[in-house]
């Protein structure tokens, strides 16, 4: 279980840590009506932007593999992480062609919406399975971020990046803290590790 927690924590730490570096390099993206993907459009933030996603994907896949190796019964739970990693990858690779055509831009936007929707539905499942105070708090943080992002997409406000960041922080903590608890309650891995 410790290895799983470590990989999940590393996935979110690499994602947020490197995106934070991008924020320091080009802080104007944070306050404009642009999303995280705008860091992929600038040469100065390209490397940390790409690394943030690739490292997050790698650690998420390692976490999924750790779950899968424990028991066949956990394959569905590992699949949750594999799909998450795949969506991260699709969002990443769709970042680059979006500057050249509106169709590619729309595809990227739809993939971003699919990622947030997927995270949101997983979070609801987390909440139903683990009704702890921390789960409720992190879910509320995710909802607040999602609402800010949604209102920004509808052009009522212009804080898309901030909404994405807040929503993803809420989900990230749910993934790191709540997901291992759910796995442990469904199938006590710690007993299998002895």
Q: What is the DSSP string of 19-44?
A: HHHHHHH-THHHHTT--GGGGGGSHH
CA angle centred on 52, ends 31 and 3, rounded to 5°: 130
Using a pLDDT cut of 70, give the percent of the chain over it: 96
Q: What is the mean pLDDT of residues 84-104?
A: 91
Cα 76 from Cα 78, distance rounded (Å): 5
Would residue 42 be called left, alpha or beta, if left means φ above 0 and alpha means ψ between -120 and 50 degrees? beta
What DSSP character marks residue 187?
S
Using a pLDDT cut of 90, give the percent of the chain over it: 63
- Give CA 114 to chain center in angstroms: 12
Q: What is the mean pLDDT of residues 158-165?
A: 87
| Token output for 52 | 């943030």
* Rounded (10°) angle between helices 2-25 and 179-186: 170
Cα 26 from Cα 136, distance rounded (Å): 33
Neighbours of 109 (CB within 10 A): 16
| Least confidently predicted of 11-20, 96-105, 109-118, 171-180 | 96-105
Cα 17 from Cα 102, distance rounded (Å): 30
Dmax (CA) for the chain in angstroms is 55
Q: Is pLDDT of 160 > 80?
A: yes
Question: Could you give the residue ranges of the DSSP H alpha helices within 26-101?
Answer: 28-31, 43-70, 75-95
pLDDT digits (tens, 9 = 90+) for 101-127: 889 888 998 998 899 999 999 999 999
pLDDT digits (tens, 9 = 90+) for 50-83: 999 999 999 999 999 999 888 778 899 999 999 9
């Amino acid at each position: 279980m410790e290895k799983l927690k470590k990989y999940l924590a590393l996935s979110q730490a690499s994602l947020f840590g490197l995106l934070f570096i991008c924020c320091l390099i080009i802080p104007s993206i944070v306050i404009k009506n642009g999303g995280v993907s705008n860091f992929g459009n600038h040469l100065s933030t390209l490397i940390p932007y790409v690394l943030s996603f690739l490292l997050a994907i790698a650690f998420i896949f390692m976490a999924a593999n750790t779950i899968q190796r424990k028991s066949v019964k956990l394959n569905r739970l590992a699949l949750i992480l594999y799909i998450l990693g795949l969506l991260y990858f699709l969002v990443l690779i769709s970042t680059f062609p979006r500057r050249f055509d509106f169709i590619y831009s729309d595809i990227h936007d739809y993939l971003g919406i699919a990622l947030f929707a997927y995270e949101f539905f997983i979070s609801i499942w987390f909440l139903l399975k683990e009704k702890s105070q921390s789960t409720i708090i992190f879910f509320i943080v995710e909802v607040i971020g999602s609402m800010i992002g949604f209102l920004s997409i509808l052009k009522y406000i212009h804080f898309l990046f901030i909404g994405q960041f807040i929503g993803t922080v809420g989900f990230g903590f749910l993934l790191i803290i709540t997901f291992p608890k759910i796995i442990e309650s469904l199938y006590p891995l710690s007993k299998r590790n002895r």
